[in-house]
Amino acid sequence: MSIEEKLNELGISLPPTPTPVGAYVPAIQSQKLVFVSGQIPMFNGKVQFSGKVGREVDLEQAQEAARLCAVNALAVLQAQVGSLDSIRRIVRLEIFVNSAKNFTDQSQVANGASSLFGEIFGDAGQHARLTIGVAELPLGAAVELALIAEIK
């Protein structure tokens, strides 16, 4: 089954590539690695989940935010390489969580994205991961995700 078929099966349609909100490019390829810049939970040009996780945003919403960040990252990845079927594996995820004081479930938030990559890519979606709680994120987003993928 192709990745596009898998996305359809999961009810996921990739959005247009989000426009960078700063002086950077959405992705860069270096040999067989593609580095996708940080993606926030944007949909139709608006941040869908904003505020502190553990205060304005609950854990389930934060996981949905991480999943939306992952979908946006896939859109960028597809725009960079042409087809998601050319992905050999997801190598690393970096998840930043806009955390309220004493919120310590950042790894649970990140599972919203990690699980999606497993569903889509199977074993090739298993990855190394860095999850960090931060004081603030661009545009007040609750979550931000960056990834590194290897192409065939």
pLDDT at 1: 86
Residue 31's beta-bridge partner residues? none
> pLDDT tens across 110-152, in order?
999 999 999 999 999 999 999 999 999 999 999 999 999 999 9
Alpha-carbon distance 132 to 1, whole Å? 34
The parent domain of residue 76 ranges over: 3-151
Query: Would the pTM count as exceeding 0.85?
Result: yes
Beta carbons within 10 angstroms of residue 60's beta carbon:
11
Angle between helix 59-81 and helix 106-121 axes, rounded to 10 deg: 40
* Cβ–Cβ < 8 Å for 118, 112: no
| Rounded-to-integer distance, Cα 43 and Cα 69, Å | 10
- Region 67-82 average pLDDT: 97
Q: Structurally, how many domains does the chain consist of?
A: 1
pLDDT tens figures, 80-95: 999 999 999 999 999 9
Least confident interval from 16-20, 101-105, 139-143: 16-20
Instruction: Say what percent of the chain tops pLDDT 90.
Output: 95
How far is it, in rounded angstroms, from Cα 59 to Cα 125? 23
Q: What is the CA radius of gyration of the chain?
A: 14
Dihedral pair phi/psi, residue 63, rounded to 5°: -65, -40
CB atoms within 10 A of CB 42: 20
pLDDT in tens, 29-38: 999 999 999 9
Give the strand pairing for 128-134 and 87-98: parallel
Amino acid at 114: S
The CATH number of the domain holding residue 28 is 3.30.1330.40
